[in-house]
Amino acid sequence: MAREKTIQVTVNGRAFEKTVSVRRSLADFIREDLHYTGTHLGCEHGVCGACTVSMNGRSVRSCLTLAVQADGAEITTIEGLRNEDGTRHPIQQAFLEGFALQCGYCTPGFLITAIEFLEENPDPTEAEVREALSGNLCRCSGYQAIVDAVMSMSGKPAPENA
Amino acid sequence: MKPAWFDYHAPDNLEDALVLLGDAGIDGRVLAGGQSLMPMLNMRIVTPSVLVDINQIASLNSLQAGPDELRVGALVRHADLMRNPAVREGWPLLAEASNQIAHRTIRNRGTVCGSIAHNDPAAEHPSLLVTLDGTVVAASAGGRREIPAEDFFDGMMSTSLEPGEMVVEVRYPRPRKGACFGFAEFARRLGDFAIAGAAVMATMNGGVCEQARLTIIGMGDGPFRARAAETVLAGSTLDAVAITAAADEVRSAVDPGEDVHGSSSYRRHLAGVMTERALEQAMTRARGDGNG
Ligand SMILES: Cc1cc2nc3c(=O)[nH]c(=O)nc-3n(C[C@H](O)[C@H](O)[C@H](O)COP(=O)(O)OP(=O)(O)OC[C@H]3O[C@@H](n4cnc5c(N)ncnc54)[C@H](O)[C@@H]3O)c2cc1C
Ligand code: FES
Ligand code: FES
């Protein structure tokens, strides 16, 4: 029967082995089977970016990835960003200090996307930041504070993680 | 939202994938980057009973730039293509236009061949393949065939692929010396599908355009090759008069449909403006180093 599969996935440094339905999305797997509920679902068709996680070092839409496709992968979600001593990741701190979130629903996706972007481009222009974040929608904070928070990381050493 | 049931296979070699696809026939689908298929599955716009995930087939993850052509295997992602130095150098049109496809997270997964097989009329890659005079390599359990770009695209979201057949590679000939490129598209938000776009390759010799290939994006039926405009451009110096005349030809040749993003006349207008912008880029480059 090709409708269930056992997969091994490392999420935020922890190894899991689970049997999943082949039609389960990675997002539902992370939220409902592993209980990392910080990964959010907005649209479930790739448009809003709320479900963005890092898979093998690249940001992906977890609503457009099947859980079975993550077999063998290393995944980082919002829960994996904080430092080992419990302090915030520098970009989480920047979002906090810059009031770059209101309800916070969109924030996990923004952070995962921004971390990948800053690794590639540690000293971006505002236009580059806007382009990089264009796939993430926020319905309440407005974008300026988010763009400013990411810009405030500009020129700082690339944050470790994800 | 949840896809309807399907049987899932993730073979690690092409032969097995082709057998699975052949057995499934019209009930089977290839899963590549999933950036178009997964939304359609989640919304149950399509309900295939067999999914053949090709992501484990290492041989398809191959990007080769040779002296004569560029070969892009079925697992090459948009992000891989646009970052590849040989592509940026030899096929700058592909690298530049890829930057306008969706958003970074989607470019990390979506594939060039998937975009070509999907043939969304607003997508960039089908038109780029036509502009660059490329070829699709299709395979099935029964064998392989090469299909020139213009025979491959067959109306909106439709191609000449047969059931059981898949795209294993697309090929782009190396542009001739003196080839200059331009690309322009309009979308309301960064990363959205284009409402209209234009891609051009103009081959210059001594300041004169010997041949131009111009393709319009977003007109409803897949890539639209603007042949009348190409005729106007050939023999010109890509001067302002020729560019305006070419844009006029495009406006009268296209027949875009109407949807929530724009009326037919708005799309027609944009097709002309995008043509002008793409040609102006090509012209600037022709007068610069004649390269790129
Ligand atoms: C929010 C959002 C915005 C987007 N914006 C754009 C945009 O601006 N421009 C753009 O061009 N695209 C855009 N896309 C689509 C994206 O580029 C996809 O990557 C692309 O259309 C399909 O590639 P894929 O590898 O993801 O294919 P999949 O989603 O895996 O497959 C798409 C279809 O093609 C078939 N298929 C895939 N690969 C093959 C193959 N090798 N042989 C035969 N059939 C195959 C599948 O069976 C399916 O029917 C967007 C997507 C999203 C979610
Ligand atoms: S929930 Fe995945 S992009 Fe919106
Ligand atoms: S902070 Fe509420 S959606 Fe962005």
Which sequence spans correspond to the domains of chain B? Answer: 7-53, 61-172, 179-286
CA B176 to each of CA A54, B69, B82, B86, B173: distance values in angstroms, whole numbers, following the listed order: 40, 11, 20, 16, 9
A1 — pLDDT class (breaks 50, 70, 90): low
Q: What is the pLDDT of residue B189?
A: 85
Q: How far apart are CA B101 and CA B94, in angstroms?
A: 11
What ipTM is given for this predicted complex? 0.94
> Is residue A53 a part of any domain in this protein?
yes
Give yes or no: residues A24 and A55 share one domain: yes
Distance (Å) from CA A47 to ligand 2 centroid: 6
> Is residue A14 a part of any domain in this protein?
yes
Give yes or no: residues A18 and A68 share one domain: yes
Q: What is the pLDDT of residue B197?
A: 97
A157 — pLDDT class (breaks 50, 70, 90): low
A158 — pLDDT class (breaks 50, 70, 90): low
Give yes or no: residues A17 and A68 share one domain: yes
Give yes or no: residues A76 and A100 share one domain: no
Q: What is the pLDDT of residue B291?
A: 47
Whether the per-residue pLDDT at A160 is higher than 60: the answer is no
Residues of chain B found within 8 Å of residue A136, distances taken between Cβ atoms: 103
Cβ separation of A3 and B55 shorter than 8 Å? no
Give yes or no: residues A66 and A111 share one domain: no
CA-based max dimension of chain B: 60
Whether the per-residue pLDDT at A140 is higher than 70: the answer is yes
Q: What is the pLDDT of residue A159?
A: 56
Give yes or no: residues A76 and A10 share one domain: yes
Distance (Å) from CA B271 to ligand 2 centroid: 31
Residues of chain B found within 8 Å of residue A49, distances taken between Cβ atoms: 103, 105
Q: How far apart are CA B109 and CA B53, in angstroms?
A: 13
Q: Sign of the C-alpha dihedral, residues A119, A127, A81, A86?
A: positive
Q: What is the pLDDT of residue B106?
A: 98
Q: What is the pLDDT of residue A154?
A: 85
CATH architecture of the domain with range B179-286: 2-Layer Sandwich (3.30)
CA-based max dimension of chain A: 53
> Is residue A29 a part of any domain in this protein?
yes
Q: Give φ, ψ of B237 to 5 degrees.
A: -100, 20
Q: How far apart are CA A49 and CA A45, in angstroms?
A: 9
Residues of chain B in Cβ contact (below 8 Å) with chain A:
1-10, 31, 34-35, 38-39, 41-43, 51, 53, 55, 79, 102-106, 108-109, 189-191
Give yes or no: residues A66 and A122 share one domain: no
Given ligand 1 and candidates B37, B47, B159, which is best to mutate, with the most ligand atoms within 8 Å of its CB?
B37
Q: What is the pLDDT of residue B220?
A: 79
Q: Which residue of A has its CA nearest to B193?
A: A47
Q: Which residue of B has its CA nearest to A22?
A: B8
> Is residue A16 a part of any domain in this protein?
yes
Q: Is the CB of B75 under 6 A from ligand 1?
A: no
CATH number at residue A129: 1.10.150.120
Q: What's the gap in Å between the CA of B276 and the closest CA on chain A?
A: 24
Q: What angle do CA B167, B66, B222 make, to 5 degrees?
A: 35
CATH number at residue A29: 3.10.20.30
Q: What angle do CA B4, B124, B247 make, to 5 degrees?
A: 140
Q: What is the pLDDT of residue B288?
A: 84
Give yes or no: residues A74 and A105 share one domain: no
Question: How many CB atoms are closer than 10 A to CB A1?
Answer: 6
Give yes or no: residues A63 and A119 share one domain: no
B93 backbone φψ class: left, alpha, beta (φ>0; ψ -120 to 50): alpha
Q: How far apart are CA A66 and CA B85, in angstroms?
A: 31
- Tell me the two tokens of residue B169: 């590679």
- Report the number of distinct structural domains present in chain A: 2
Give yes or no: residues A13 and A75 share one domain: yes
Contacts of B138 (CB under 8 A, 6+ apart): B144, B145, B146, B147, B161, B165, B166, B167, B168
pLDDT (average), residues A46-66: 98
> Is residue A104 a part of any domain in this protein?
yes
Q: Which residue of A has its CA nearest to B40?
A: A45
Q: What is the pLDDT of residue B24?
A: 97
Q: What is the pLDDT of residue B292?
A: 45
Give yes or no: residues A116 and A143 share one domain: yes
**Tens of pLDDT, residues A79-131:** 999 998 999 999 999 999 999 999 999 999 999 999 999 999 999 999 999 99
Distance (Å) from CA A143 to ligand 3 centroid: 9
Q: How far apart are CA B252 and CA B248, in angstroms?
A: 6
Give yes or no: residues A9 and A66 share one domain: yes
Q: Give φ, ψ of B211 to 5 degrees.
A: -150, 140
Question: How many CB atoms are closer than 10 A to CB B269?
Answer: 15
Is B160:B257 a contact under the CB 8 Å cutoff? Answer: no
Q: What is the pLDDT of residue B290?
A: 46
Domain assignment of residue A21, given as a range: 4-80
Q: CATH topology for B7-53?
A: 3.30.43
What residues form DSSP beta bridges with A40? none
Domain's final residue, options A47, A80, A113: A80
Average per-residue pLDDT for chain A: 94
Q: CATH topology for B61-172?
A: 3.30.465
Domain's final residue, options A80, A107, A123: A80
Is A54:A108 a contact under the CB 8 Å cutoff? Answer: no
pLDDT (average), residues A52-68: 98
A161 — pLDDT class (breaks 50, 70, 90): low
Contacts of B59 (CB under 8 A, 6+ apart): B13, B14, B73
> Is residue A159 a part of any domain in this protein?
no
Cβ separation of A22 and B34 shorter than 8 Å? no
Q: Is the CB of A137 under 6 A from ligand 2?
A: no
- The segments of chain B whose pLDDT lies below 70 read 289-292
> Is residue A94 a part of any domain in this protein?
yes
- Tell me the two tokens of residue B55: 């992501």
Q: What's the gap in Å between the CA of B129 and the closest CA on chain A?
A: 25
